[in-house]
Structure 1
């Protein structure tokens, strides 16, 4: 594609900001255009697995984020009555994959990323669209991006504008886009003083719940349920959670008692079922949900966006190489996430009994049996290697049913 001196990033979320920082470190002049009035993300928490943390190592941020790890005890998977199906210590995943899993508020990660960019590099309240994707073979035809203040030109455009990406639709107008995944999610981050609990995820009939601590002392809880698309509570979403989960085990009742209606976020989940033919066209590259939105059942949406960003910064002058590196991997992970969703959102009573008994039996044989399900995901290494001096890192590990290599902090925002 020739020399890239100027890049525009459309979208100031995790994938867009990571790409901006990585390109900035490569000497590229970067401008981030975020349509919202601030970079403060709509959402709750995100779980970063060792693969994403290694990506953050490349931009000098990995250990800062590892230091925010909160959970250092046991965790696991439960039934609505409170029975443990499997339990695991934090060390098992860290030992297998060379590092911890870290749960933190999305705003914390965004703040850390934005702090590594020049202040003038980020423009908020700046809706943007691609006017011309440009021609990488023609130095006289850069990409052109439309903004409220006029057009901008760039050697590279990074489209990180989310699951309902307008850039993706413009580049690939015949692609069907995202579809409803069959379930909706709720997320809560609140203080919960005086309540002790083991980090857990609970599987019920077409419903799940998870409760986990954050480093700052707050609690992150999430839920998901199989419901028709577009449904909303007739009163408020806290009341809906009480109807669905009010009789489940502690500390779920304590979380619901402490939460206010305004503390509860709800979003239907969508994902891309048909892979794109490429993650680039012209001088434009897609990252994160814009390229490969997936269900949150592996907790990999944000993690894969970070991988995309780091890989793109490695191949920023060769976009076909970026597609070749990312499309097969993300397609396989997205398909695995769909399969996991079918398992833990199961509604058939007989199937649920078989599932739970199998989980309990396999857990007795050793957590490594389940951790193998995360092989090929958490053990990813960035192209060109990392900049970190030690592999294990510092801090503990937050385990969300970690035996199963899956987490649910991801979100599907409009």
Structure 2
């Protein structure tokens, strides 16, 4: 009897769990090593565009996640005083890209992905290090505490500060500070009724979005020195920066407790990697192509990575696959150009939205309004060539039913 091919995934975030689920679905024996004591995700919510939802179709949970969509009416871009710069709607987004945009708590998606794996596949409190990337003649090796695991495939899904990436490409400079910091909150706001929106001010932005479960997800970003923190607490910092902005921002801030606020500096891979694989080891998600959150594509690209890695290699679905250089080179060829281009667009979007020059911001706002009057909302145009991605099969939903 042929032994099943073994895969070890380092990192139990959204990308790592999706990769593990995709590999399990195609016949691999999968182990996920997560250094945290639980799978409780860092971060409040995640935005899933139609491209990410199509990747979830391949895993069989796309429609379940689509049912969580809360954005039903108008939305768009506003100024701090409340004036709309650009408006769009859930219907327009679905018509343009063939599906909705879904915002949901990260914990919900993590739970759904983890449920796709067999019992015991995920080991928490298990920091891991790549001991040997492997090659065609020998398996890769991973150290996890006192244990050493051998595998035909290792997936590095350990985030922006990836140790696996450092082991594969030690001369790469690693992540760079993007020049701004972010705050995120997920809170109930009694009686809140508003259109989903993002608001751009000089050097600052704010987004407010209702979720299906009745809570509100809000995020903010501002240019700031790396490592800076509020002298008192981060709620107070948000009040100083955004407390006089348009409704419903003051109401959201009133509902926030200091302990609800998650602040994090944004780092990205300003220099692309030469490849996303070496030997029997691949990189996925932020470990491969960390990008600013300005297009909301970090998680979506990790989901794309996961299904592209697992499913096109039909010859690797059962034991005996090599997961060698030629096979993983196809993964690099499929993913590196696309993710590099999207990361660059995210950087440009950040520069546009975060400019601190008031004169430049005024011109930006005028151009956005004019462009949106002449055609589809700028908010939607920014996803052209991104949200319309489809898995490299005839249909993600059709493939979801295959084993």
- What range describes the TM-score normalised by the shorter chain of this pair? over 0.9
Question: Residue 232 in 1 paired to residue 229 in 2?
Answer: yes
Deviation at 1:367, TM superposition (A): 1.7
Deviation at 1:360, TM superposition (A): 1.0
Distance 1:218 1:375 in 2: 29
Aligned to 1:410: none
Structure 1: 5+ residue stretches without partners? 391-414
Question: Residue 298 in 1 paired to residue 295 in 2?
Answer: yes
Deviation at 1:383, TM superposition (A): 1.6
TM-score, normalising length: structure 2: 0.94
Aligned to 2:215: 218
Question: Residue 257 in 1 paired to residue 266 in 2?
Answer: no
Question: Residue 347 in 1 paired to residue 344 in 2?
Answer: no
Is the CA contact 1:55–1:386 (under 8 Å) kept in the aligned structure 2?
Answer: no
Aligned to 1:92: 92
**1:4-403 counterparts in 2 under 5 A?**
5-135=5-135, 137-138=136-137, 141-314=138-311, 315=313, 317=323, 318-367=327-376, 371-388=380-397
Distance 2:277 2:372 in 1: 42
Give the 3-state SS of the residue equivalent to 1:247 in structure 2: coil
Distance 2:222 2:377 in 1: 28
Distance 1:120 1:288 in 2: 23
Is the CA contact 1:4–1:156 (under 8 Å) kept in the aligned structure 2?
Answer: no
Aligned to 1:401: none
Give the 3-state SS of the residue equivalent to 2:100 in structure 1: coil
TM-score, normalising length: structure 1: 0.91
Is the CA contact 1:4–1:155 (under 8 Å) kept in the aligned structure 2?
Answer: no
Deviates more, 1:283-292 or 1:316-325: 316-325
Encode CA deviations 1:17-60: one digit per residue, 9 max, x unaligned.
Answer: 00000000001000000000001101100000000100110110
Encode CA deviations 1:211-269: one digit per residue, 9 max, x unaligned.
Answer: 00111100000000000000000100000000000110111100111100000000000
Distance 2:398 2:167 in 1: 42
Deviation at 1:369, TM superposition (A): 6.0
Structure 2: 5+ residue stretches without partners? 317-322
Q: Which portions of structure 1, spanning 4 or more consecutive aligned residues, are displaced by more than 4 angstroms?
A: none
Aligned to 1:406: none
Encode CA deviations 1:76-116: one digit per residue, 9 max, x unaligned.
Answer: 11000011111111111110110000000000000000001
Is the CA contact 2:390–2:396 (under 8 Å) kept in the aligned structure 1?
Answer: no
Distance 2:141 2:184 in 1: 38
Encode CA deviations 1:298-346: one digit per residue, 9 max, x unaligned.
Answer: 1000000000011110246410000000000000000010011000001
1:372–1:253 CA distance, 2 compared to 1 (3 A)? closer
Distance 1:39 1:370 in 2: 32
Distance 1:42 1:378 in 2: 24
Give the 3-state SS of the residue equivalent to 1:120 in structure 2: coil
Deviation at 1:175, TM superposition (A): 0.1
Is the CA contact 1:163–1:289 (under 8 Å) kept in the aligned structure 2?
Answer: yes
Count residues with an aligned counterpart.
385
Is the CA contact 1:202–1:208 (under 8 Å) kept in the aligned structure 2?
Answer: yes
Deviation at 1:368, TM superposition (A): 5.5
Is the CA contact 2:4–2:27 (under 8 Å) kept in the aligned structure 1?
Answer: no
Q: What is the aligned-residue RMSD (CA, Å)?
A: 1.3
Is the CA contact 2:86–2:379 (under 8 Å) kept in the aligned structure 1?
Answer: no
Is the CA contact 2:223–2:354 (under 8 Å) kept in the aligned structure 1?
Answer: yes
Give the 3-state SS of the residue equivalent to 2:179 in structure 1: strand
